[in-house]
Amino acid sequence: MNEKLTQVDTKEIELADTLFVRDIETRVFQTIALQTLSEIEGIAMLEGNIIDSFLGRDGPDRIKGIAVDQDLKKHSVKLKIEVNVEYGLPLPAKAEEIQTKISHEISRLTGLHVSTIHVVFKNLIIPKPEGMEEEEQPLLEVKDVTEAIDAGEVIS
């Protein structure tokens, strides 16, 4: 009987089954995405509005325009990114740039698989002409516009 006890692997007794758990909060994924988006030219994040403030949807745990859904069983994450894009940029190429960079950073920093990145372009950013300020362009009344058209002037 003593012979059987000496043949038992003592590692099984010393080290019980260990379960390692890793939780990553949504805010971490949002911050990684936000930092990555800040390095991409020609896009801007969404801005909150007064309704969001009243309803409490712009709290400290929510970054507007970045939604995250984690699948703990598959060790993957899905993101929905809503951004404004500068007018004139090719949208498919910009979407691919956003998806590639965010996917790479999240995978690199968290070790999780990024299963989906859904990019939604919410609005266009119209660049202001160089050297033009809003104050430099006075608003024309309707009668001023019609007089300019009648006189053959070009309105810019």
User: Domains in the chain, ordered, with CATH?
Assistant: 10-150 (3.30.70.1350)
| 107-131 confidence digits (pLDDT tens) | 999 999 999 999 999 999 887 777 6
pTM value is: 0.63
pLDDT of residue 130: 73
Three-state SS for the chain is: CHHHHHCCCHHHHHCCCCCCCCCCCHHHHHHHHHHHHHCCCCEEECCCCHHHHHHCCCCCCCCCCEEEEEECCCCEEEEEEEEEEECCCCHHHHHHHHHHHHHHHHHHHHCCEEEEEEEEEEEEECCCCCCCCHHHCCCCCHHHHHHHHHCCCCCC
The H or E element that residue 44 is part of is strand 43-45
Q: Do residues 121 and 98 make contact, with C-beta atoms less than 8 angstroms apart?
A: no
Q: What is the mean pLDDT of the chain?
A: 76
| 51-67 confidence digits (pLDDT tens) | 444 455 555 445 789 99
Residue 152 pLDDT greater than 80, yes or no: no
Q: Cα dist. 140→36, 143, 148, 154, 156 in Å?
A: 42, 8, 10, 13, 11
